Amino acid sequence: MDYEMILTERDGAVGIVTLNRPKALNALSTPLVDEVVDALRAFDADPGIGCMVLTGSERAFAAGADIKEMKDLSFADAFGGDFISSWDRIATMRKPVIAAVAGFALGGGCEVAMMCDLIIAADTAKFGQPEINLGVMPGAGGTQRLTRAVGKAKAMDLILTGRMMEAEEAERCGLVARIVPADRLLEEAKTLAATIARHSLPSLMAAKESVNRAYETTLSEGVHFERRLFHALFATHDQKEGMAAFAEKRSPEFQNR
Ligand code: HXC
């Protein structure tokens, strides 16, 4: 598939999607988001891929939704066309997706990073929800996912002021899993993705689904859901292989089944 605004690459079992609209700091226009969804879906459906990385440029992961595209939208356009509802599809991948963020991750850029399963940040990363400066508010999950990630106080601080937060603060408050030097970001993200992808795919997908369930349900229901998936994994070849390999003091050879 030929894309105009993204680049895609395979590195072993890792699928990499790079936002590539440098002149606009990867501003997330509708066609760009459609391409991202399409590329992630293709990797998600590819049996040879175990983990995906979504990244941008050195200067910007993404500086937000495309302001020039949306500045003249009417309420009827936005509501009637359910503007940006398609973005949610990024969060529906079943395999793990890592956001590798350098530079700006603002507004919709921060929201897309939060749709991924974990964020690895360059020391140059800057996160924020600056929509308040434009007379609007976050619209692609920012008030929800940021609040769950960092708590109400910090989410209010960021969303109501529109200020940016550096990588270190983002790690301290739990938005970011790891910080790495900017020139090592992609390598580190690929290594992390390859490490994840070495595991059995059914167990990765079940674990991802179960962690995400923590955001959707009560503790007792979540723990119940987790236990049922845990039980189900005993039906896999890879459970037998993983546990046999441990007992035999060798590395497991998973077959994703
Ligand atoms: C469209 C954008 C853009 C955006 C940057 N550009 N961000 N175009 N939409 N979100 C364009 C600029 O217009 C400019 O194009 C080029 O990218 C470079 O940007 P500069 O501003 O010249 O760079 P710099 O001075 O380094 O400032 C970087 C910046 C600033 C601080 C990131 O660009 C900025 O504040 N951008 C907007 C950030 C923002 O408000 N994001 C939230 C958007 S709302 P030209 O052609 O002039 O060179 C949003 C809603 C989400 O995301 C909710 C629903 C999806």
Q: What is the DSSP string of 90-110?
A: GGG-SS-EEEEE-SEEETHHH
CA dist 169 and 140 (Å) reads 22
State whether residue 165 is helix, strand or coil.
strand
Residue identifier of the C-alpha nearest atom 30 of ligand 1: 63
Supply angle C-alpha 138, 143, 119, rounded to 5: 95
- Mean pLDDT in the chain? 97
CA dist 200 and 250 (Å) reads 16
Write phi, then psi, for 60 (nearest 5 degrees): -155, 130
pLDDT single digits (tens) 200-224: 999 999 999 999 999 999 999 999 9
Write out residues with Cβ below 6 Å of ligand 1.
Answer: 24-25, 27, 63-68, 84, 104, 106-108, 130-131, 134, 138-140
Alpha helices in 102-166 (DSSP H): 108-115, 147-150, 152-161
Identity (one letter) of the amino acid at 229? L
* Model confidence band, residue 29 (pLDDT cutoffs 50, 70, 90): very high
Q: Using a cut of 0.90, tell me whether the model's pTM lies above it.
A: yes
* Model confidence band, residue 1 (pLDDT cutoffs 50, 70, 90): confident
CA dist 246 and 72 (Å) reads 60
Quick one: pLDDT at residue 2? 87
Q: Which of 111, 142, 170, 189 is catalytic?
A: 111
